[in-house]
Amino acid sequence: MRVFNLNLKPRSAQSRGWATRMLPLGQLCLALNSYAQEPIQDSVSYLDYTSCLQKALLSEDDTTTLGDIRNRCRQVDQPKPLSSRKLNEEVTEQNPFVLTPHRLNYALLSHYANGVNETPFEEQAGKTLAYHDEEVQFQLSFKFPLYKDLVLFDKSFDFYAAYTNRSFWQFFDDQDSIPFRETNHEPEVWVEWDADFDFPFEFNLHKLMLGVNHQSNGQTSILSRGWNRIFLQGFLQHKNSFLSFKTWRRFDEKDEFDNSFNYQKYLGDYELEAAYKWNKNTFAMTLRNRYDANRYGSVQLEYTYPINRRLKGYVQYFNGYGDSLIDMQYFSRKLGIGIVLADRI
């Protein structure tokens, strides 16, 4: 019988985030997988299984056999979706060659609309454009820690920064040289508290975030759009789902042109996001509106399904106002099909 002995000494029990203290994930996985002789049960994900193995390496006695550890980890309870994602993020944050996903990372290869908002571009160009109702849309979003484990009022806080790029590409408009119709840039910084507070019926308050967000389209003159806001966001999770509520307040701008747009009328005062995972399929919905509800809100429905271990198929439906900053005052009804690189859960 093999004895698995790496002579690792466990750190203090007060040290938070064991995933951030271990050997590089790749080295551990190679070492552990060389011993694995049986398949992992479908109910236990690869990440949960390897995470359990790594935790055991830091805490088990030297005489514990690898077989005992493997058997125990195959029976590990499936963590709630945001907790599982958090563990994965703690691992990627230790790898300087990996970007940790923030929001959904996707590409809609075919994105059909009920009509593209051409007016502001034609006013700026002084001519009629040949924009198509079909375009390519993609979003790239990543985050990174600025400072972790700051203790205030007996609570531990983490500071993060993130950047999200969302682009609308007129890929089928050869006449106008295949332009990028709109690109929204969204950098933000925030402090978060990993609440991990349990409620009845297996609900869990995962974390709270307080931060500052800037969103603009990088344009000048009459095409310029941009606003700044302070936001508060909370995440509640259940077995295979989560619910997020985000609210914000806009800062007044020094630029009178930016102040002339009523961003909150069309982009709302809050955003409600929900996602549910069924087998390997994920369903999501995002609602945005004002507290005194108006007709300028929006709803976005999304569905992802696995293609392989790395990619997921993606379907997105949007209905309402504010799909992008330049389309803030323009009603859109869109349906897109593409792929997802990094899903919510």
Distance CA 58, CA 37 (A): 22
**Catalytic pick among 45, 110, 216, 224:** 216
Give one word for 7, left, alpha or beta, with left for phi > 0 and alpha for psi -120 to 50: left
Would residue 224 show up in a list of annotated catalytic residues for this protein? Answer: no
DSSP 283-339: EEEEEEE-SS--TT-EEEEEEEEESSSS-EEEEEEEEES-SSSTTTTS-EEEEEEEE
Asked if 116 contacts 134 with a C-beta cutoff of 8 angstroms, the reply is no
First-to-last C-alpha distance (Å) of the chain: 38
**Catalytic pick among 45, 214, 224, 238:** 214
DSSP 242-293: EEEEEEEEEPPPS-HHHHTS-HHHHH-SEEEEEEEEETTEEEEEEEEE-SS-
Asked if 100 contacts 86 with a C-beta cutoff of 8 angstroms, the reply is no
Would residue 214 show up in a list of annotated catalytic residues for this protein? Answer: yes
C-beta neighbour count of 268 within 10 angstroms: 25
Asked if 150 contacts 159 with a C-beta cutoff of 8 angstroms, the reply is yes
SS3 of residue 180 by DSSP: strand
SS3 content of the chain, % helix, strand, coil (to 5): 20, 45, 35
C-alpha torsion angle, residues 75, 76, 79, 81 (rounded to 10): -50
Distance CA 272, CA 230 (A): 16
Q: Where in the sequence numbering do the catalytic residues fall? A: 214, 216
